[in-house]
Amino acid sequence: MRKSVLSPRKEHDAESGNRSSLDKGPAQARQSVRQSSRYGGSRMSMRPSAARASKIGGRGTEVGLVGDHKVVDAEGKDRTPKPMLVFRAPGPLKAAGSVMGSDSFQDTGFGLGRMSSNASSMMAGGFGGRLSTQQSMNFGVPSLHTGSPIANSELWDFESESANGSPRGSESGMGSARGPMGVIKEGDEGGGRAGMARPGAVAVTPEALESAHSVRLIESANHWIWTLPGSLVPASGSDAASVTSANVRYATLLREREGNDRQVHGEAQTLNPLLKAKETQTEARSTSTAECQVGNVELQATEAENDGSQDMLEASASQQQRPMSRKQQEGAEKDDGFQPSPDLTASLLASSNFENMAVLGNLNPGSGLESTRSSFAEHGGLEHQGSSASSLAPFGLGRDSSGMQGGLTSAVVSLRTTRDQAGQTNPLGLLPSLPQLLAVMEAALLQRTHQPHFLAYRDMHPLWAPQPTQPTRPQQLPASASEEEDLALPDSAAASTPRDLSKEESMSNTTGSAQLRVLWEWSSQWGQDLATTCMAWNKDGTVQLHDVKSRQAAPTESSKVGHAKHSEAVAQVRWVDRGPDHAELLISISPDGRVTSWSLSEGLAYTDLMKLRRVASQQTPRARPAQHAAQGWAPHPPGTGSKPGTSGMKSSVGSGRPGSPVPAVTGPNPRASLLARPGSPDLPMPSSRGVAHGKDMTRVASPPRGPKPGGMPGGRRLAGMRADSSLSRAASGWCLAFNPREPRTYLAGTEEGLVHRCSVTYSEQYLSTYSGHMGPVTALQWCPFRPSLFLSASADWTLKLWEEGQMRPVLTMQAVNEEVNDAAWCPARSTVLASATAGGRLELWDLAQSVVKPAALYCAPQGVRLACLMFAQDAPVIMAGMSNGNVAVIRVHDVYDWDASSSSQEAALKAALEANVVKSPQSTAGA
Partner 1 sequence: MSEVESTLQRISGHKGVLGCIVLNADGIVLKTTCDSDLTDLHASLIPQLAAMARNMVRELDPQNDLEFLRVRSHKQEIMVAPSGDCVLIVIQEAKGA
**Interacting residue ranges for partner 1, rule: CB under 8 A:** 293, 295-298, 300, 351-355, 357, 382-387, 390, 394, 423, 426-442, 444-446, 448-452, 464-465, 495, 497-498, 500-501
Q: Given the complex with partner 1, which of 228 and 350 has the nearer CB atom?
A: 350
Of residues 230 and 394, the one with the C-beta less far from partner 1: 394
Cα separation of 899 and 901, whole Å?
6
CB 666 within 8 A of CB 685: yes
Sheet holding 768-771, edge to edge: 733-739, 742-750, 754-759, 768-771
Nearer to partner 1 by C-beta: 349 or 868?
349
CB of 323 to partner 1, least distance (A): 17
Estimate to the nearest angstrom the gap between the alpha carbon of 878 and the chain centroid. 48
Question: In the complex, what is the shortest distance from the CB of residue 431 to partner 1, in angstroms, rounded to a whole number?
Answer: 4
CB of 308 to partner 1, least distance (A): 14
Residue pair 570/559 in contact (Cβ under 8 Å)? The answer is: no
State which residue, 427 or 659, has the beta carbon closest to partner 1: 427
Cα→Cα distances 337→333, 334, 375, 685, Å: 8, 6, 10, 66
CB of 547 to partner 1, least distance (A): 25
User: Strand, coil or helix: what is 510?
Assistant: coil
Residue 879 beta carbon to partner 1: minimum distance, rounded to whole angstroms:
21
Question: What b/e readout covers 532-541, taking b as 16+ CB neighbours within 10 angstroms?
Answer: bbbbebbbeb
Q: Report, in Å, the least distance between residue 551 CB and partner 1.
A: 17
How many Cβ atoms from other residues are within 10 Å of residue 16's Cβ? 14
Closer residue to partner 1, CB minimum distance, 439 or 629 = 439
Phi–psi pair at 688, nearest 5 degrees: -115, 130
Q: In 380-433, which residue ranges form alpha helices assigned H by DSSP?
A: 409-425
Cα–Cα nearest to 63, from 157, 169, 153: 153
Residue with Cβ nearer partner 1 (479 or 573): 479
> At CA 266, angle to CA 264 and CA 269, rounded to 5?
170
Which C-beta is closer to partner 1: that of 277 or that of 428? Answer: 428
Let me know: does 879 contact 869? Beta carbons within 8 Å. Answer: yes
CB of 750 to partner 1, least distance (A): 46
Toward partner 1, which CB reaches closer, 395 or 633? 395
**In this structure, are residues 467 and 461 in contact, taking their beta carbons and an 8 Å threshold?**
yes
Nearer to partner 1, 357 or 604 (CB): 357
CB of 369 to partner 1, least distance (A): 23
Q: Cβ 319 to partner 1, closest distance in Å?
A: 27
Closer residue to partner 1, CB minimum distance, 158 or 395: 395
CB of 385 to partner 1, least distance (A): 7
User: What is the Cα–Cα distance from 456 to 876, expressed in whole angstroms?
Assistant: 11
Q: Quote the least distance from Cβ 471 to partner 1, whole Å.
A: 20
Task: Report the alpha-carbon distance of residue 780 to residue 823 in Å, rounded.
Answer: 7
| C-beta closer to partner 1: residue 389 or 875 | 389
* Shortest distance in whole angstroms from residue 523 CB to partner 1: 16
Residue 330 phi, psi dihedral angles, 5° rounding? -75, 155
Quote the Cα angle for 654-731-694, to 5°: 70
Q: Which is nearer to partner 1, 191 or 361 (CB)?
A: 361
8 Å CB contact between 214 and 43: yes
Instruction: Choose between 427 and 694: whose C-beta lies nearer to partner 1.
Output: 427
Contacts of 62 (CB under 8 A, 6+ apart): 25, 28, 69, 70, 71, 80, 81
Pairing of strands 219-219, 48-49: parallel
Dihedral over Cα of 144, 149, 154, 159: its sign: positive
Q: Which of 695, 711, 847, 865 is nearest to 785 (CA)?
A: 847
Counting every residue written for the chain, the total comes to: 927
Residue 175 or residue 396: which is nearer to partner 1 going by CB?
396
Specify the amino acid at residue 2.
R
Angle, CA 425 vertex, CA 422 and CA 429 arms, to 5°: 75
Question: At 315, is the secondary structure helix, strand, or coil?
Answer: helix
Q: Which is nearer to partner 1, 260 or 447 (CB)?
A: 447
Q: Please identify, using beta-carbon distances, which residue of 397 and 700 lies nearer to partner 1.
A: 397
Q: How many CB atoms lie within 10 A of CB 445?
A: 11
> Smallest gap, in angstroms, from Cβ of residue 358 to partner 1?
12
Helix runs in 79-168, H state only: 96-102, 105-122, 128-131, 135-140, 149-164
Nearest-approach distance from CB 400 to partner 1, in angstroms: 23
557 forms beta bridges with 545
Whether residue 412 contacts residue 397, with contact meaning beta carbons closer than 8 Å, is answered with: yes
Q: How far apart are CB 859 and partner 1 at their closest, in Å? A: 24
What is the secondary structure of 568-603 as a DSSP string? Answer: S---EEEEE---TTSPPEEEEE-TTSEEEEEE-SSS
- Nearest approach, Cβ of residue 896 and partner 1 (Å): 27
Backbone dihedral region for residue 690 (phi beyond 0: left; psi -120 to 50: alpha; all else: beta): left
Contacts of 439 (CB under 8 A, 6+ apart): none
Cross-strand bridge partners of residue 769: 756
